[in-house]
Every structure is written in C-alpha cells, then in structure tokens.
Amino acid sequence: MSESARRPAASLLGALGVLAINFALAVAAFRQLRQGGVSTFTVMRAGTIGALILWLLLEAPLALRVASDDRRGEDRGTLRLNAVARALAVIAALAVPSVWSRWNLIESAALALFVGGFSLRLFAIHALGRFYSHKVRRTEGHATIDTGPYRLIRHPAYLGVILAHLGFALVFLNRWSLLAVLVLVVPAFVWRIRVEDPVLMQIPGYAQYASGRARLIPKIW
C-alpha cells in the first residue's frame, strides 16, 4: 500500500479507536451513576471520567493526525508504548473496585491533580504549536521553544500526563491503580524522554537550552 493510501486508512482507524475509547468511558461513567445512585460520590467520580473524555477529545485532532514525518524512524515505538501504558492504567483504575466508599478530601485533591495535570499538558502542547507531535520527530525549520512551561522544564507535557494519571488513579484508588501508573506510565515516559532527547539535541539551540533545565523535575531530573 502506498504512503498516500495508508494515510486515510490510518486516520479512519484512529478515529474509530478514539470513538471506541470514549464510548467505553461514557459507559463506565453511566455505570458509576447507575450502581451508586445520584450522590456526591458517584457524580464526582462520573465527572472525573467525563473530564478524561474531554481531555481525549481535545487531543483527538493531534492523535488522528498521521505522523508521516517520522520517516527517519525517530519515534522507535514510544508512541505505542505510551498509549498502551496509559490505557492499562485507566483500565486498572476503573476495572477494580475502589477502596473509597464515599467522596473525601483525598479524592478532591486527586481530582484537582488530574485536572491540573492534563491542563499542564494542553498548555505545553499549545506552547509548542506546530512543533508538537504525538510521535518523536523533527520537522522542517524545527526551533527550540523556551516559553510557557518550557521556561522551567524540558518536558512539561509529559509531566502533565504523569500527574494526570496519578490523580486519576487516586480518585479510583485500588490495589492496582497506583501500581499501574508507577510501573507502566512513568517508565514509558522515561523511556520516551531517553529516545527523544538525542533527537532534540539536533535542533539548533536545544543543547544550550537543555543545559540549564531539568527534564521533568527541577533540581532532580
């Protein structure tokens, strides 16, 4: 199949995937309300799932964009690894009964962390503009961005994902939810950063920019 023929097919599969994921999440939110009745506990948990759906919809245009500019193979499969890790983390949070039986302050803080995390990610994506891609790659005229959250750390979009999944796991806390974030999501993004940094170092000015900033956590890494 030619490159031009693969693009529409990939876009269609991507669109169907996004629809299927959002439908499954909507069903999960409905089940929260149906099983527990209308209460603060069930409404807030269903609302958290609704916020996840909103996040996915806001990123859908980027997810559906076919990354044909990865002809050099710079991504090395990190996009698929990250997608699988994130999906399993959400499944772990929703498929196993939570330790919580009523809405509490920890869940409130976790919801704030979730919303703050994906808001940071969207802010970082906006700051990168046309240089952002779900795949590791360079584009023509790729420039170093040091504005917005990139003034503080080199990978704020990835930090946002990790924080968001941590918050989601805490809202639906069970014996697997946190473990999935720590064992799957965090290592997946650490590996992506390891793959992406050498690619970014080829962009003019990036090495100088990187020399004064941590990857994810200031003063630590």
pLDDT score at 77: 83
In a domain, 216, yes or no: no
Q: Taking all residues of the chain, what is their mean pLDDT, rounded to a whole number?
A: 84
Domain for residue 55, yes or no?
Answer: yes
Q: What CATH number does residue 168 fall under? A: 1.20.120.1630
Q: Give the tokens for residue 28.
A: 């999960």
Write out the two tokens for 66: 């076919």
Q: What is the pLDDT of residue 72?
A: 63
CA angle centred on 211, ends 208 and 215, rounded to 5°: 120
pLDDT tens for 142-192 read 888 989 999 999 999 999 999 999 999 999 999 999 999 999 999 999 999
Within a domain: residue 219? no
CA angle (35, 36, 38) in 5-degree steps: 120
* Residue 142: predicted pLDDT: 83
Q: What's the domain range around 20?
A: 3-211
Please check whether residue 42 lies inside any domain of the structure: yes
Residue with tokens 């002809």: 71
CA neighbours closer than 13 Å in the CB half-sphere of residue 218: 6
pLDDT for position 62: 79
Residue 156 lies inside a defined structural domain of this protein: yes
- Total domains, the chain: 1
pTM over 0.75: yes
d(CA 36, CA 33): 5
Statement: residue 1 has pLDDT above 50: no
* Amino acid 131: pLDDT: 83
| Cα separation, 206 vs 19, whole angstroms | 37
Instruction: Establish if 195 belongs to a structural domain.
Output: yes
pLDDT (0 to 100) of residue 3: 47
Under 8 Å CB-to-CB from 79, ≥6 apart: which residues?
67, 134, 135, 136
Q: Note the pLDDT tens digit of each residue in 12-50.
A: 455 555 567 766 777 777 677 666 566 788 889 888 999
Q: Using CA atoms, how far apart are residues 204 and 117, in angstroms rounded to an integer? A: 29
Residue 217 lies in a domain: no
